[in-house]
């Protein structure tokens, strides 16, 4: 009886250990894999490939506050590139931006009228100190009025393919805060709108088209009209003691934002070992939280992902290495991918990627054959990268994606008329012979 009791107790203990192991292990694994970002909306993007590594409500259009200024920055760079203005171009401050600068609630740099300011100085105040008045002054310089500049912003947004956006002013302030100065053609109570995906794509375009923008956005402190102005991006290497807690190695941009309606927002950019990431957090709870959550995103991207070549150029699917050819000197042609597939891959997920062929039906006859002549490198379809895991967030731009071209590896000349005639005669007799055999079989 005693032996049976011990045996029973051992069995119960073993079952308990097994149950506890099963219960604890999945939760600990889940905790390690789940990224909990305290923001209404967030996204993380690999710049080299355009791959989205993380997304939370990223298609939700929200007020971006001063992250709006990334579009103003882009249009300044574009105007300089076109030769419409230069960094040395000077302008004076009109009544509208002067009134914004004089308003203490906006914490401006204190612009003066009847004084010349260079585009370079105005841009620095906008990009580094997020100054609103200098932003308006640049908008007026480029377009004549902020209302006309807003039209340029929305037009450029469409050209960029921003999915969820609406610009009503150049700064990110609520139009209601501008009083009677709200831009002509916009609603006096409207506010700018961007989704996290749109903000990330805007940052992506700015960095790709004008990488020098990071040289300015990465400046922690600079001089402006005899005063020091500080960058609101606390993740830069500030010398102020209480800001050092937010420093993150590799951060060099890009734009903070805050209004009562928008909450605390931040579009970040960081590079480590040649790998650049863009992050966006929207409507976080505090100034500190927007940088803390951004650090979580960057930690996740830099530590969990490695850019790898999953499939080399010239990759061939097993059992689908060739296609039959009609009316050619060769009966088959080799096919393969024309580019390698290199993307950020999460640790341990390499085997969850595969390739799927999608042949262009217009290139094939009814028998599924390619018709000669065929050129070497001729596109005959696409090779689609398929991910079998739980989440694939896609790509930030339409020109990036999970498909590459499927091409022919060699040329196939069209067979001459004599060989085609012999082939046709041969096919005729084969068909005739088959018909006769079938008829004879039918007799029996």
Q: In this structure, what token pair is assigned to residue 326?
A: 């009609």
What secondary structure does DSSP assign to 306-344, as a single string? EEEEEE-TT---TT-SEEEEESBSSSEEEEEESS-EEEE
- CB neighbours (10 Å) of residue 293? 23
Active site residues: 66, 69, 130
Yes or no: say if 396 and 163 are a contact pair by the CB < 8 Å rule. no
CA–CA dist 371, 353 (Å, integer): 32
Q: Which two tokens stand for residue 273?
A: 């070992």
The distance of Cα 360 from the centroid of its chain, to the nearest Å, equals 28
Cα-only R_g, the chain: 31
CA distance 162 to 166: 10
Task: Decide: helix, strand or coil at residue 265.
Answer: strand
Query: Which among 227, 232, 224 is positioned nearest to 251, based on CA atoms?
Result: 232
DSSP codes of every residue in 44-81: EEETTT-BEEEEESTT--B--GGGGHHHHHHHHHHHHH
d(CA 419, CA 395): 49
> What single string gives the DSSP state of each residue in 384-396?
EEEE-SS----BS
């Amino acid at each position: 009886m005693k032996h049976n009791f011990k045996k029973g107790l051992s069995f119960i203990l073993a079952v308990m250990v097994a149950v506890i192991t099963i219960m604890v292990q999945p939760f600990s694994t889940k905790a390690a894999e789940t990224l909990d970002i305290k923001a209404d909306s967030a996204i993380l993007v690999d710049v080299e490939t355009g791959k989205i590594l993380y997304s939370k409500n990223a298609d939700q259009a929200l007020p971006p506050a001063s992250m709006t200024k990334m579009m103003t920055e882009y249009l300044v760079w574009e105007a300089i590139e076109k030769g419409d203005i230069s960094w040395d171009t000077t302008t004076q401050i009109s009544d509208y931006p002067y009134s914004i600068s004089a308003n203490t609630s906006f914490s401006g740099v204190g612009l003066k009228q009847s004084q010349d300011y260079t585009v370079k100085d105005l841009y620095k105040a906008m990009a580094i100190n997020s100054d609103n008045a200098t932003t308006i002054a640049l908008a007026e310089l480029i377009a004549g009025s902020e209302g006309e500049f807003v039209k340029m912003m929305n037009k450029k947004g469409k050209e960029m393919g921003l999915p969820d956006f609406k610009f009503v002013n150049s700064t990110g302030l609520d139009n209601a805060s501008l009083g009677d100065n709200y831009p002509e053609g916009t609603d006096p109570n409207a506010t700018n709108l961007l989704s996290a995906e749109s903000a990330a794509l805007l940052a992506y375009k700015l960095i790709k088209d004008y990488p020098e923008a990071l040289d300015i956005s990465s400046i922690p402190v600079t001089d402006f009209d005899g005063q020091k102005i500080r960058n609101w991006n606390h993740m830069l290497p500030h010398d102020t003691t209480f800001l050092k807690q937010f420093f993150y190695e590799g951060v060099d941009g890009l734009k903070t934002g805050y209004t009562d309606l928008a909450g605390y927002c931040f579009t970040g950019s960081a590079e480590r070992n040649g790998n650049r990431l863009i992050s966006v957090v929207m409507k976080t709870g505090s100034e500190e939280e927007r940088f803390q959550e951004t650090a979580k995103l960057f930690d996740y991207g830099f530590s969990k992902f490695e850019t790898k070549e999953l499939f080399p150029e010239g990759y061939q699917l097993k059992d689908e290495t060739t296609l039959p050819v009609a009316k050619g000197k060769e009966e088959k042609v080799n096919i393969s991918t024309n580019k390698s597939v290199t993307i950020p891959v999460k640790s341990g997920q390499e085997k969850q990627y595969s390739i799927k062929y999608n042949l262009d039906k217009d290139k094939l006859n009814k028998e599924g054959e390619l018709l000669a002549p065929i050129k070497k490198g001729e596109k005959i379809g696409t090779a689609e990268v398929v991910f079998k895991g739980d989440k694939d967030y896609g790509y930030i731009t339409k020109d990036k994606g999970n498909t590459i071209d499927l091409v022919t590896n060699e040329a196939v000349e069209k067979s001459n008329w004599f060989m085609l005639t012999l082939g046709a005669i041969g096919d005729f007799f084969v068909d005739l012979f088959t018909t006769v055999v079938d008829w004879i079989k039918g007799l029996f």
